[in-house]
Structure 1
Amino acid sequence: MTAARKTLIVVAAALVDRDGRLLVQQRPEGKPMAGLWEFPGGKIEPGETPEQALIRELAEELAIDVDHACLAPACFASDRLDDKHLLLLLFVCRKWGGTPIARHASALRWVRPVELHGLDMPPADKPLIGLLEALI
């Protein structure tokens, strides 16, 4: 029997613009998986709901305001991450206030769902691509 792994729960947003493109951000140098493209989001802090955490993370990372009602639960991914197990909860968001800027990322990029296949993304994000293609 193997030792139980701690589960790390993170939230992310598939921000969809009027043209049906998704926003991805590039992980900065000095961080794990630097250079990879990912959906914006982050860890849930103690006492936060997934929606509260995502609203906070989007404000911190992209300087945008999102209302709870604009977050639609879409899908999740489950993957091993070092000595932990990662559970990634993905929400779709089509409405927000402000223009996204890269506060903590190296770059931002708007892409069509099919273009995600050509990006170097973390292993947990890859299974979400097909689902997003079907949803968007």
Structure 2
Amino acid sequence: MSQPDDLRRAFHLFPISVKGVVVRDGKVLLLRNEREEWELPGGKIEPGETPEECVAREITEETQWKVTTGPILDSWMYHIATAEKDVFIVTYGCYPDTAAPPVLSHEHKEVGLFKEGEVPELHMPDGYKRSIARWFAHLREQAPELIG
């Protein structure tokens, strides 16, 4: 099998999802999905789009929040047991460009804003919890006004 075929097969086996950690007023923006898990907003890259553009677009589509994409925080393979599939997750730290409340889209069941100390007890993948902790640590050093 040639290298391009290997890449196509790997992409087919492992879809990519780009997620954003957005903290405003000391709270992280999360969405509850159909599996009753809290997750970060984000989704799949569209043709011609960069990962940074993707995460900003997806956050706006899912919450009506405009953001500026910051640095990559983490990446990992997430096994979704109920769907019997693996997804390659990449998370970015994002800066909010709005003071409006988040608006729930049709893609999720609930939108929530959570303090850092509430995150460890939430039903969500550990990779998301790790990304959230990294972004809070970064903001404490670089943008403490976002965490209060």
TM-score band by shorter chain is 0.7 to 0.9
Alignment of 1:17-32 (within 5 A): 17=24, 19-28=25-34
Range with bigger deviation, 38-47 or 73-82: 73-82
Of 102, 120, 133, the residue aligned with 1:100 is 102
Q: Is the partner of 2:119 in helix, strand or coil?
A: helix
- Superposition deviation, residue 97 in structure 1: 6.5
- Structure 1 length normalisation: TM-score? 0.76
- The alignment covers a number of residue pairs equal to 125
The match for 1:78 is 76
Structure ID, larger Rg: 2
**Aligned AA (1:23):** L
Gaps of 5+ in 2: 1-5, 140-148
Alpha-carbon distance in 1 for matches of 2:37, 2:22? 18
Q: Is the partner of 1:120 in helix, strand or coil?
A: coil
The answer to whether the 8 Å contact 2:17/2:87 transfers is no
Alpha-carbon distance in 2 for matches of 1:112, 1:76? 20
Structure 1 pair 14/51, CA: closer, same or farther in 2 (3 Å)? Answer: same
1:35 paired with 2:45, answer no
Q: Is the partner of 1:100 in helix, strand or coil?
A: coil
Gaps of 5+ in 1: 29-33
Identical-residue share of aligned pairs (%): 27
Task: Provide the alpha-carbon RMSD of the alignment.
Answer: 2.4
The match for 1:31 is none
Task: Give the structure with the larger helix fraction.
Answer: 2
